[in-house]
Amino acid sequence: MRVERAASRYACLPPPPTQVAPCEEQQNLTKTSKALTAALPTLILAACAPDRPVDSGLSSTGGAPAPPSWIWSDVTADDQELSFEKTFQLAEAPSDAVLIGTCDNRMDVLINGQRVGSHDRWEELVAWDVSDLLAPGENTLEVGARNESGPGGLVLQLDLGGGRSVVTDASWRVAPARSSSESGVQVLGRVGEGGLPWSPRITLDSFARGANGISRGETGAPQAPRLAKDLTLLPGFEAELLYTVPGGSQGSWVSLTSDPQGRLYASDERDRGLYRITPAQVGDPAATTVVERVPVDLSGAQGLCWAFDSLYVNVSGKGLWRVQDTDSDDQLDGAEHLIEIADSGEHGPHAIVPTEDGQGLYFIGGNHTRPPQFDGSRAPSNWGEDLLLPRQWDPSGHARGRLAPGGWIARCEPDGTNVEIVSNGYRNQYDIALSPEGELFTYDADMEWDLGLPWYRPTRICHATSGSEFGWRSGTGKWPAYYEDSLPATLDIGPGSPTGLLFGTGLAFPDRYQRALFALDWTFGTIYAVHLQPAGASYTATKEEFVWAKPLALTDATVGVDGALYFAVGGRGTQSALYRVRYTGSASTAAAGPANADASSAARELRRSLEAFHGRIDPEALDAAWPALSSDDRFVRFAARIAVENQPAETWRARALMESDLRAAIEALLALARQGSASDLSSIVGALGRIDAGALDEPWLLAALRTYAVAFARQGEPAEADRERILAQLEPLLPSSSTAVNTELVRLLVYLDSTKVVAQTLELIRSGEGEGLPEWADLIARNDTYGRPIAKMLADMPPVQGIAYAFLLRNATRGWTLPLRKQYFEFFVSASTHPGGNSYAKFLENMRDDAAAELSPADERSLAPLLGQSLVAALPADVTPPVGPGRQWTLDEAIATVGRELVARDFAAGQNLYHATACSMCHRFDGQGGAMGPDLTTVANNFSLPDLLEAIVEPSKVISDQYGSHTVVADDGRIAVGILVEDVDKVTVYPRALSAPPVEFERAEIASIEESSVSQMPQGLVDRLNPEELKDLVAYLMSGGDPKSELFQAPAGGGSD
């Protein structure tokens, strides 16, 4: 018998009782005996083993630990010295223990008689790693405390891991120094409570963040919610700060989702893992937010989604994963790799959402992410650049060589099979959202370096319909919104950095906000409520600022089962936190019903019926779609054309060439230009030539001009006779009353070698035709930090349309005279006096260089004074070096120096130091400076003071992939480390040393290119600064370049101390 064998191994126990015949009482005894038998090995070990220590005397042993309290003796006096003590038992020594706290005014800390450290700044927490000082059994924590004047207080938390902790509370003992007469302590109140003199500086938030680079254990302690007073919200709404993320252990959260049980899930941007969050229950004053790590080896997810009883995770550099609870213990413990996506970074794989039919998933990637292996595409996948004239890549190297389809949206089954491309042509759409009606939307990014240039496209809300194309192409190649083979945005928002996007479905908000689309902007710390209005087969929209603050580096948001809006802040290593927004006003929050039918419902139904033919061959598609090719509704005719393009071209080629309806003919010929072959070119231009272009209204004339351009871009140059006929058709149309038409006419006429286009276009430039403020210009009115560099540009607006014409004319080879050449090159000098984005002046120089390459030697000599002028604004020449004396700044010293007295600073000194420390060599600020690093003008919107100082003092700690360095090794052994600028056939490396020249490599001679873990920004750039100079520099950065900032004003009642 098993029991007999067990007993024979442990002689100290008696044998089990003898079995007897069963009766009712005996059967009950037998059940008890079986239960004891099952537990017997454990009981035997416990009986025979020596005494072992157990955890006792702890403030918490798991679950939600109590927050620390401020304690002191019941008597407070000046120059008072006290000795505090706490004894506790540990079953085993912890592998990771952190002690954090402070004292008013000084404390000396010992554990088990060994000195831990001292601290004398009550307004700042200090933290120590005390893992090596604790032991199994009894441990004693002692504090020698001194109060110099005023109130005295001590607060400590010893985090032992696993939810175990010791905090200052009523269990501590206190005695006067050098006295054995100890007594109980007086508890003054919990950390952060109102009425305590320390609460304005020391909060639960402070404990969560940690101090001097040390934070609490991996799970972090639960945190009580507190009112988020720094946020600005619409009337009737209230925000709470639920959880401040300990960055050292849990990283910086960039994605968020929720499950049906009301838990949230978040991912660190790098390697700190996935986390499950149980938010503090609304209305429970004792409730806390509890965070626990998900026990799977995944992190760096910029997309999370709970669907099909699983957590889907889109991991940078890996792709789509499914995480499940494999043993029904309510813990996600099994990860399955579904779809490989090798590309990574901030323009890598992003969001995931369930499809409108509840049968699959949508997932997305930015423009640096190649589409995964796919089984189908809603639109034909022969994506092209479709640029008629040569492109210029970004002069600073961003996205060089990146080609169509750009950013994409795909669909798959819950198990990752049957991948289908749904939409494309985005720059970097971070998130997607489905409306209650099943319409898919996204929020696409701008390229801020293009500000002031004709190819700048603002951040925008896009209606991502089936097969849609939104025209992102790298460098100067971005398609205008009017291109017929793309779709326009629903709403142009303006400069920014889009992150999260979600509809208000499920929110306990008033009806207007339940139907709103919430769009998060990382750069400017704003959540927009976007209100959609049906318009034909799509929508128009307006926006309002729903939540904003500075800093508020928004990353993602989700709707909780409690009807609240949850959002996270963080990214690029900044301090991360979780917030909750609730409606507390008087308006009804009853669930919004289905949207009523409207005048546009039929158009949307027609569009959806046409989209049913996307991605497949169907004999009924042509007859269903053909009548809609001539629709005035752009989304309807786009859906119709994609349905046609999905059918074999031989089944509709003749019908397109013979179509008598002019509008249907243009759309059908565009389809043939995209899906036909070079043998179709003459037929296409012949059919277009029979159209009376002058009789077309603007949208259809633009469509006809675009069809010409696509046909030439895809199928080649026209025959000479065709070229002459097209010139005769188009030259009389220039100039037009439409700026867009003029632009496309100039493009085509330059391509076709018109002799008239140069003089006509220069006259358009001279007249200022088409110049004015962009539609998003009113966006800057909300706050000065948002608008300062943009407002300066709008107040001195570059000649955007003139630059568009000049860009096209750089390729013109006929019709030039020396006076026209002079007028042309003078335009670049004039344009360079206006402000613009990082790449503005460099693009102007590159355009000028392209045009100058076509000059004859005589013309080049005549124009030399114009060609030799720099178009890049010079940095100040009167910069003075720092006074010093400097020091080797550490992060702790910098925070302690700057964080205490950043008032009444010197703007001029800070501005001078920005240049003297070489910041301006790589960073643009307030419209000036280099472009090798990020623009710092709006740094105060995203970075707290500690975050900013960390980026300055420890630049290699967090490196954005947009500005990371690389090591290039050539076949001959040459090595260069620095910022990479890639061209088609060569690679240029800009070394970290500012004085070092760039190093060029032919692509064919490169042996390897690897990412560097060292920042391009050198360490120690501020080590020449004394404390006052460091404060002035940081104040200048935090001000956004505004000399009227409060950072430069004397405090009320006097100057700085």
Buried b / exposed e over 522-545, threshold 16 CB at 10 Å, is bbbbbbbbbbbebbbbbbebebeb
How do residues 790-818 score in pLDDT, each as one tens digit?
Answer: 878 888 999 999 999 999 999 999 999 99
Q: Are residues 697 and 670 in the same domain?
A: yes
CATH of the domain at 974: 2.30.30.100
Domain boundary pick from 550, 583, 616: 583
The domain tally of the chain equals 6
User: What's the pLDDT score for residue 27?
Assistant: 46
Q: Taken in order 62, 64, 68, 73, is the CA torsion positive or negative?
A: negative
* In a domain? residue 957: yes
Backbone φ, ψ for residue 518 (5° rounding): -95, 125
CB 946 within 8 A of CB 899: yes
What was the pLDDT predicted at 216? 53
372 and 357 within one domain: yes
Residue 616 lies inside a defined structural domain of this protein: no
Residue 598 lies in a domain: no
The answer to whether position 829 is within a domain reads: yes
Distance CA 635, CA 626 (A): 14
Does one domain contain both 457 and 568? Answer: yes
Both 65 and 41 in one domain: the answer is no
Pairing between strand 420-426 and 376-377? Answer: parallel
Amino acid at 890: T
Q: Strand order in 137-147's β-sheet?
A: 114-119, 106-111, 137-147, 80-90, 173-176, 183-184
Whether residue 414 is found in the same domain as residue 531 = yes
Question: What pLDDT was estimated at residue 952?
Answer: 86
CB 688 within 8 A of CB 682: no
Predicted pLDDT of residue 109: 93
Looking at the structure, do residues 705 and 761 belong to the same domain, yes or no?
no
Residue 695 neighbours by CB distance under 10 Å: 9
Residue 507 included in any domain: yes
Q: What is the pLDDT of residues 675-715, one digit of tens each?
A: 999 999 999 999 999 999 989 999 999 999 999 999 999 99
Q: Is residue 860 part of a domain?
A: yes
Residues 713 and 740 in one domain: no
Within its chain, how far is the Cα of 778 from the centroid?
24
CATH of the domain at 122: 2.60.120.260
Same structural domain for residues 714 and 753?
no
State residue 21's pLDDT score.
44
Do 992 and 921 reside in the same domain of the chain? yes
> What domain range includes position 276?
226-386+406-583
In this structure, the answer to whether residues 167 and 245 fall within a common structural domain is no
* Residue where one domain finishes, among candidates 175, 209, 243: 209
SS3 at position 421 = strand
For strand 420-426 and strand 468-469, is the pairing parallel, antiparallel, or unpaired?
Answer: parallel
Are 367 and 347 in contact by the 8 Å Cβ rule? The answer is yes
The answer to whether residues 843 and 392 touch, using CB atoms and an 8 Å cutoff, is yes
Among 11, 27, 48, give the residue marking a domain's end.
48
Do 177 and 244 have their domain in common?
Answer: no
User: Which residues of the chain carry a pLDDT beneath 70?
Assistant: 1-52, 62-65, 209, 211-220, 779-787, 877, 899-901, 927, 930-932, 959-964, 979, 982-984, 992-996, 1012-1016, 1051-1057
Does some domain include residue 359?
Answer: yes
Do residue 738 and residue 722 come from a single domain?
no
- Sign of the CA dihedral running 950, 951, 954, 958: positive
CATH of the domain at 235: 2.120.10.30
- Other C-beta atoms within 10 Å of 898: how many? 21
- In tens, the pLDDT along 449-475 reads 999 999 999 999 999 999 999 999 999
Q: How far apart are CA 103 and CA 71, in angstroms?
A: 10
| Total residues found in the chain within this entry | 1057
Phi/psi zone of residue 317: left (φ > 0), alpha (ψ -120 to 50 degrees), beta? left
Q: Which of 407, 439, 434 is nearest to 423 (CA)?
A: 407
* Structural domain includes residue 76: yes
> The tokens of 799 are what?
């000649």
Tally DSSP H helices, then E strands, for the chain: 27, 48
For 448-474, give the DSSP string: GGGTTSTT---EEEEE--TTEE----S
